[in-house]
């Protein structure tokens, strides 16, 4: 009972922390830029609708690559899933990302509906973990690789410093997750300052990824589809910038969008506050603070709109039916 009470308190504090971080940051940003707010609103009024809707179409087209990736990932677990069902499950994830206080919540709901749709196959949970890992690792690699084709990056201390940290984090992640000896040793250690849940997550990620090492063909397809999907999302963000007449090279967004998506995992309410702070930190080297803040608010509205569209589809379609998803266990 005492442990259950402690767990409930931890959940409450996590929720409180998310709200404090999000609305605390937004409050600070709005206060610091209170004199520029009229200019920010003016920029938002001048949004070029054509570019905005092009970004919307590109975003939903990019989800098709993500749907194919999820289909291949699920296939390794011995479960068949149609592309239409995989696409719909990703829409469900987008919707719940907007109504739950964390981007991880969308992944949990995606796993839940896949679990229901595959007649209770527990393997779908590890499949969702792997699907998210493909996205995470590819995002890191894309962001790091911008140093080779984005000349302005070499003159920016912020970008170069971020790339160095990302490289170190990616290398560390790869060592801890893909090396069986290190994972086994880590799981046997009892380090007071290292939470047990962290150890369990490392073990869970390794077990999930280990099954895919013997399926190199599918692994390669998933990586290619992830790169394609991430590229479309990057182009969508570039089009949003163009809708506000923000002149920033496309190459910058190959660095920036993965950073933006990573920051979405920070304790916050769907990235609110954190997203705006990230835009202001990086974009002010290429444009004015008013346009950087306007673009961040437009991006927030864009993601809310995407979630609303997904929510409308979810409201009419409901759960995955066996006829629609054609999922069956081998």
Q: What CA–CA distance (Å, rounded) separates 310 from 92? A: 7
Q: What CA–CA distance (Å, rounded) separates 295 from 244? A: 7
Cα angle, residue 109 at apex, residues 106 and 113 outer, rounded to 5°? 140
Domain limits, the chain: 50-320
Give every CB contact of residue 250 below 8 A, 6+ residues apart in sequence. 234, 235, 238
pLDDT at 206: 60
214 pLDDT band (50/70/90 cuts)?
low
Which helix or strand (DSSP H or E) is residue 221 part of? helix 216-243
Q: How confident is the model over 41-100, as pLDDT tens digits?
A: 899 999 999 999 999 999 999 999 988 988 888 777 677 778 888 898 888 888 887 766
Mean pLDDT estimate for the chain: 76
Residue scoring higher pLDDT (56 or 171): 56
Q: What CA–CA distance (Å, rounded) separates 275 from 26? A: 10
- C-beta of residue 165 within 8 angstroms of C-beta of residue 259: no
What tokens were used for 217? 């063909």
Region of 48 on the Ramachandran plot (φ > 0 left; ψ -120 to 50 alpha; else beta): beta
Candidate from 72-81, 108-117, 147-156, 193-202 with smallest mean pLDDT? 193-202
* Residue percentage of the chain with pLDDT more than 70: 67
pLDDT at 315: 84
């Amino acid at each position: 009972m005492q442990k259950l009470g402690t767990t409930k308190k931890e959940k409450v504090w996590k929720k409180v922390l998310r709200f404090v971080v999000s609305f605390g940051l937004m409050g600070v940003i709005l206060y610091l830029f209170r004199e520029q707010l009229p200019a920010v609103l003016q920029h938002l009024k001048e949004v070029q609708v054509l570019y905005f809707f092009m970004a919307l179409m590109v975003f939903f087209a990019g989800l098709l690559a993500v749907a194919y990736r999820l289909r291949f990932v699920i296939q390794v677990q011995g479960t068949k899933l149609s592309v239409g069902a995989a696409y719909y499950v990703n829409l469900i994830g987008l919707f719940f990302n907007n109504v739950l206080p964390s981007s991880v919540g969308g992944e949990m709901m995606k796993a839940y509906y896949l679990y229901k749709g595959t007649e209770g196959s527990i393997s779908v949970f590890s499949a969702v973990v792997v699907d998210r890992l493909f996205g995470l690792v590819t995002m890191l690699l894309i962001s790091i690789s911008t140093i080779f084709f984005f000349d302005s990056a070499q003159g920016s201390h912020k970008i170069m410093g971020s790339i160095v940290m990302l490289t170190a984090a990616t290398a560390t992640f790869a060592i801890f997750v893909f090396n069986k000896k290190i994972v086994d040793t880590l799981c046997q250690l009892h380090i007071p300052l290292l939470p047990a849940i962290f150890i369990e997550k490392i073990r869970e990620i390794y077990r999930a990824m280990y099954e895919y090492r013997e399926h190199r063909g599918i692994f390669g397809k998933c990586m290619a589809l992830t790169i394609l999907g991430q590229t479309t999302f990057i182009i969508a963000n570039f089009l949003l910038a163009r809708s506000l007449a923000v002149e920033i090279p496309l190459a910058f967004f190959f660095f920036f969008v993965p950073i933006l998506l990573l920051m979405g995992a920070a304790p916050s309410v769907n990235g609110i506050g954190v997203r705006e702070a990230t835009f202001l930190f990086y974009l002010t080297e290429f444009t004015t603070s008013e346009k950087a803040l306007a673009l961040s608010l437009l991006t927030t509205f864009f993601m809310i709109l995407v979630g609303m569209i997904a929510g409308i589809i979810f409201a009419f379609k409901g759960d995955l039916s066996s006829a629609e998803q054609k999922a069956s266990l081998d």
